[in-house]
Amino acid sequence: MDNKKRYKLMTWILLLAVVMTVLAPLSVTQAAGVGDVLGALAAPTAPTSEGGGILNTIFSFLFDRILGPILNIFGGGSTTTAPPPVKLPPTPPSGGPVIDSGVLRGKVIVVDPGHGGTNPGAVSNGTRESDNNLAVSLKLRDRLRQAGAKVVMTRETDRNVATAGSSLGQELQARVDIAGRNNADIFVSIHSNSNPDPSIAGAMTFFPSGKSSKLALEVQSGIIRETSAVNKGVQPATFYVLRNTAMPSILVEMGFVTNAAEAAKLQNDAYRNRIAQGIFTGIVKYFQAN
């Protein structure tokens, strides 16, 4: 008989001896089921004699190293329960510093990334307006929240805001409604510009005629200070989201996607950070003065 067969036979003999030892004390009038056997085997056992000798050593090896892992009767071995997720600290925004002066705490700010979903906005030089608008808006959101503001986004993904099949007017009204329902202190709509003349470049900020000019001036100044873009100034306008919002509101045109150089900048993450920082500092200055 080779060593492998001899070892296997010894294992079965030892197992039989242990089972007989467990079953012996049981009443002869009650049959022991498999559950009884495994339960008895799994239960901690006190030594029957001091020391235990070689048999205890062999039994311990048999159950601790061989049978226990196979039958998993000691609660050990592998488990299918996933470890709890590790909660990572939030990543601070890159770009300029977020200065928490306290003026934004409790302020409700609606950030509106223009277009999205079935309406990509202006498309030129390999970039879509809706993508630029969303990227900068998310960066602005993070900065505002770090400074204590309550930020409400009209969208946080590439989607329409109104229900499917809505008209353009309904889509714009859905954004206005979000600002109204949340009693926003200010409404900030983020856009990218276009022009048939590809040489035109620069940033500009619009405000509803007769109000919000201070907010527009501070935000425009912040953008130019951070990006050194061509300053196309601030202007009153009658855009739907401006004339239909009750709170101070602005519409930022970050740059022209029809200008090749500016389109490349608008797709650059570092430049997007600078735009978001400029809008953020402008909003802070606006509330500091009011």
Q: Supply the CATH number for residue 146's domain.
A: 3.40.630.40
Domain presence at residue 63: yes
pLDDT at position 231 over 60: yes
**By percentage, how much of the chain surpasses pLDDT 70?**
65
Q: Do 192 and 58 lie in a common domain?
A: no
282 falls within a domain: yes
The runs of H, that is alpha helices, within 124-205 are 129-146, 168-181
- Reported as a pLDDT band with limits 50, 70 and 90, residue 102 is confident
* Residue of 131, 262, 243 whose CA lies nearest to 203: 262
Residues 117 and 25 in one domain: no
In a domain, 210, yes or no: yes
Sign of the Cα torsion 137, 140, 145, 148 reads negative
**pLDDT tops 70 at residue 87:** no
What pLDDT does 210 receive?
Answer: 87
Asked if 17 and 127 sit in the same domain, the reply is no
Indicate whether 123 and 61 sit together in one domain: no
- The identity of residue 127, as a single letter, is T
Verify that 181 and 62 share a domain, yes or no: no
Shared domain for 125 and 29, answered yes or no, is no
Q: What is the DSSP letter of 112?
A: E
Is 142 in the same domain as 249? yes
- Whether residue 226 lies inside any domain: the answer is yes
Distances (CA, A) of 189 to 67, 115, 165, 206: 68, 10, 22, 10
* Residue at 77 is within a domain: no
Report the pLDDT value the prediction gives residue 42, as an integer from 0 to 100: 35
How far apart, in whole angstroms, are the C-alpha atoms of residue 258 and residue 129?
A: 10
**Residue range of the domain that includes 198:** 108-288
Contact 225, 286 (CB under 8 A): no
d(CA 266, CA 263): 5
Specify if 25 maps to a domain: yes
**Is the pLDDT higher at 192 or at 27?**
192
Rg (CA), the chain: 35
Same domain, 58 and 118: no
Q: Is 190 helix (H, G, I), strand (E, B) or coil?
A: strand
Whether the pLDDT of residue 21 is over 80: the answer is: no
Q: 144 and 23 in one domain?
A: no
Segment 203-212 mean pLDDT: 94
How does pLDDT run across 107-166, given as a tens digit for each residue?
A: 999 999 999 999 999 999 999 999 999 999 999 999 999 999 999 999 999 999 999 999
Regarding pTM above 0.85, the answer is no
Pairing between β-strand 127-128 and β-strand 150-153 as defined by DSSP bridges? unpaired
How many independent structural domains does the chain possess?
A: 2
Which residues have CB under 8 Å from 268's CB, separation 6+? none
Distance CA 167, CA 189 (A): 19
**Is the per-residue pLDDT at 85 higher than 80?**
no
